[in-house]
Amino acid sequence: MGEHHMNKHFDDSRYYLARAAEHARLGVTESLEGPAARVRTLLGREPDPEPDRVDGVLEDVTALERRLETRARGAMGSVRARVATGRSSEGDGRR
């Protein structure tokens, strides 16, 4: 039972104390949500509601649509330029 064995016990204790503290913090936070909301309402400081998950997904989809639209327009512009260049070189007799 050397020093290493004792360090392991201290490390384990520290780990479990940290977990217990985190769970206690979460419990206190959850217990105080109702009273804190009432106090904020009475003071007129109700926080802005957070967007729900569906709103977030819709925003992501809209942003993706815009990016895809921009890429598609760029690709079409490149194709048009290549076609135009190909047509002008056909008239020169080059191929």
Q: What is the pLDDT of residues 9-65, one digit of tens each?
A: 888 899 999 999 999 999 999 999 889 888 888 888 876 666 688 888 888 899 999
3-state secondary structure of 95: coil
Residues 61 and 38 in one domain: no
Torsion of CA 36, 42, 45, 50, to 10 degrees: 60
Residues 38 and 57 in one domain: no
Q: What is the pLDDT of residue 17?
A: 92
Residues 1 and 32 in one domain: yes
Residues 37 and 68 in one domain: no
Residues 35 and 57 in one domain: no
Model-level pTM?
Answer: 0.39
Domain span holding position 68: 50-95
DSSP helix, strand, coil percent of the chain (3-state; round to 5): 85, 0, 15
Of 30, 47, 64, the last residue of a domain is 47
